[in-house]
């Protein structure tokens, strides 16, 4: 395809440079957004009398036809074009002749690409947010069925204190709820219109930036034309938000992987969401969650790519910025892919309550409650802590648990103990009494679920 800017040059650009320079293979996906932006621009040019109304209408119709033709496959993107902007403009000119050549009046590809990426990512944010809402709502539903399902809570991956599966899942619901909030925030700051910034220094035409901003549903035009073309904060913010979503997804995935192992066996994935081994017939592998954990790494990488790409760039546009797209598109594609696979996997996952309870009965996760029993009977916490520590040591030596240790043994260490200690350290008591705000008591988790569901309603 002949270069739009061939006039200044005395030679054709080398083929290898063309291929190196071209971005249509990855920015082609923004064709609908590019056309949407161009329609708004052409409308404004017509309204402001910069081009005639007839030309404006013809351009708009031509752009709509191109959109239809790309969508129904009659028009294929030409991979030898420099980018999607050049391709659509060239196609328009092919169809409309001189009229098509008027579209780019008072516009540069610099403000055009800055606009397209915002329009494109705005739509993606909406989709990611919907998926996250579904995930949070799924977590609430599963948590509701398990507000009494006792499981060990861990620190250092050592059994620590009793919690419930519902309580555990609601922790993740909070993380993903914050992610939704971060997405909203990212959208809010992204939603300013760079169109009309020109190449960098605005334009001498009497354009109406407010009009294009309104037509495209932005909050307002961006204030400074240099910033308009050289800002990629919105890509970086979104890459960060996605990296955080993926980090959260990766953490829950890691837990699912552990819970699936025979060492835990707290859950079993549905056959439709697990995979087998080519050699070991007994295997049922949690590949989905492992892939998510793996992909979290590349979304972190994409964030670092964008930050590193931007940090040394002088104002205004530099071609380095073309590198923004592959990184942010990769993050967007992968987070959507992960969420839409993870949600049904979670919905069909079987929870093996008995194994959670069995694991809770071991590991002395009620030791804090035993110490608290003494404290409630008047002992200072540090003394109670020491006595309980010795009790645990005796249990380990005799291969007993705090529940099965005879009362005489308790009394040997402190006369304060009585038979009511067994009730105080029973797992159900331990859970039911942890009613502090945010804690695992069923009444408390119910409250958390309700608050979370209300937050989802907005
Ligand atoms: N394909 C380019 C990009 O993605 C479009 C902007 C080109 N601007 C320029 N001055 N060469 O950044």
Rounded CA separation 53/99 (Å):
11
Task: State the virtual CA torsion across 398, 400, 402, 405 in degrees, nearest 10.
Answer: -70
Rounded CA separation 160/168 (Å):
13
- pLDDT tens string 199-254: 999 999 999 999 999 999 999 999 999 999 999 999 999 999 999 999 999 999 99
pLDDT, residue 458, reads 81
Residues in contact with ligand 1 by the CB-under-6-Å rule are 23, 27, 83, 109-110, 113, 317, 319, 321-322
Are the beta carbons of 195 and 148 closer than 8 angstroms? no
Selected catalytic residue, list 10, 16, 156, 436? 156
3-state helix, strand, coil in the chain (%, to 5): 65, 5, 30
pLDDT, residue 23, reads 96
pLDDT, residue 275, reads 84
Residues 396, 398, 403, CA angle at the centre, nearest 5°?
75
Are the beta carbons of 117 and 91 closer than 8 angstroms? no
* Ligand 1 center–CA 317 separation, angstroms: 8
Out of 33, 88, 110, 235, mutate this one to test ligand 1's pocket (max ligand atoms within 8 Å of CB): namely: 110
Rounded CA separation 255/172 (Å):
11
Residues 253, 255, 260, CA angle at the centre, nearest 5°?
95
Q: How many CB atoms lie within 10 A of CB 206?
A: 9
pLDDT, residue 284, reads 80
Residue numbers of the chain with a pLDDT score lower than 50: none
Are the beta carbons of 234 and 206 closer than 8 angstroms? no
- pLDDT tens string 386-415: 999 999 999 999 999 999 999 999 999 999
Are the beta carbons of 193 and 41 closer than 8 angstroms? no
> Please, which residues bridge with residue 220 across strands?
192
pLDDT, residue 283, reads 74
Query: 253 catalytic, yes or no?
Result: no
> In terms of DSSP H, where are the helices of 311-366?
324-347, 353-361
pLDDT, residue 277, reads 76
* Ligand 1 center–CA 307 separation, angstroms: 19
Are the beta carbons of 172 and 450 closer than 8 angstroms? no
DSSP string, 86-142: HHHHHHHHHHHTHHHHTTTTT--HHHHHHHHHHHHHHHHHHHHHHHHHHHHHHHHHH
pLDDT, residue 1, reads 66
Selected catalytic residue, list 80, 277, 340, 443? 277
pLDDT, residue 203, reads 98
pLDDT, residue 401, reads 92
DSSP string, 154-209: EETTEEEEEEEHHHHHHHHHHHHHHHHHHHHHHHHHH-EE-TT-TTTT--SS---H
């Amino acid at each position: 395809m002949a270069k739009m800017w061939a006039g200044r040059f005395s030679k054709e650009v080398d083929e290898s440079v063309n291929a190196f320079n071209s971005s249509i293979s990855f920015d082609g996906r923004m064709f609908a957004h590019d056309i949407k932006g161009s329609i708004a621009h052409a409308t404004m040019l017509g309204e402001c009398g910069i081009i005639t109304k007839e030309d404006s209408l013809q351009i708009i119709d031509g752009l709509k036809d191109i959109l239809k033709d790309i969508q129904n496959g009659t028009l294929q993107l030409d991979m030898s074009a420099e980018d999607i902007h050049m391709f659509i403009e060239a196609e328009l000119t092919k169809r409309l002749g001189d009229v098509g050549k008027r579209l780019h009046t008072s516009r540069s590809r610099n403000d055009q690409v800055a606009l397209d990426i915002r329009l494109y990512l705005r739509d993606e944010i909406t989709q990611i947010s919907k998926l996250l809402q579904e995930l949070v709502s799924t977590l609430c539903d599963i948590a509701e069925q398990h507000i009494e399902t006792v499981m060990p809570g861990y620190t250092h991956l050592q059994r620590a204190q009793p919690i419930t599966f519902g309580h555990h899942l609601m922790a993740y619901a909070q993380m993903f709820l914050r992610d939704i909030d971060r997405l909203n925030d990212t959208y809010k700051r992204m939603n300013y219109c760079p169109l009309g910034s020109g190449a960098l220094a605005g334009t001498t035409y009497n354009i109406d930036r407010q009009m294009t901003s309104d037509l495209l549903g932005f909050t307002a035009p961006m204030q400074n034309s240099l910033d308009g073309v050289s800002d990629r904060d919105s890509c970086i913010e979104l890459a960060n938000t996605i990296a955080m979503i993926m980090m959260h997804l990766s953490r829950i995935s890691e837990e699912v992987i552990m819970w699936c192992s025979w060492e835990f066996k707290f859950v079993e994935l549905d056959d439709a969401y697990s995979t087998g081994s080519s050699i070991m017939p007994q295997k049922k592998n949690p590949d989905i969650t492992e892939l998510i954990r793996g992909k979290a790494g590349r979304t972190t990488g994409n964030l670092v790519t964008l930050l590193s790409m931007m940090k040394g760039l002088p104002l205004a546009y530099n071609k380095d910025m073309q590198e923004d797209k592959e990184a942010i598109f990769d993050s967007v594609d992968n987070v959507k892919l992960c969420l839409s696979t993870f949600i049904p996997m979670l919905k069909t996952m079987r929870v093996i309550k008995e194994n959670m309870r069995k694991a809770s009965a071991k590991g002395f996760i009620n030791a804090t409650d035993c110490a608290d029993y003494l404290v409630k009977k008047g002992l200072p916490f540090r003394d109670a802590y020491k006595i309980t520590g010795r009790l645990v040591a005796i249990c380990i030596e005799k291969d007993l648990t705090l529940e099965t240790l005879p009362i005489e043994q308790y009394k040997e260490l402190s006369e304060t103990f009585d038979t009511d200690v067994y009730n105080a350290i029973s797992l159900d008591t331990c859970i039911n009494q942890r009613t502090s705000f945010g804690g695992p008591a069923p009444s408390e988790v119910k409250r958390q679920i309700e608050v979370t569901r209300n937050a989802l309603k907005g």
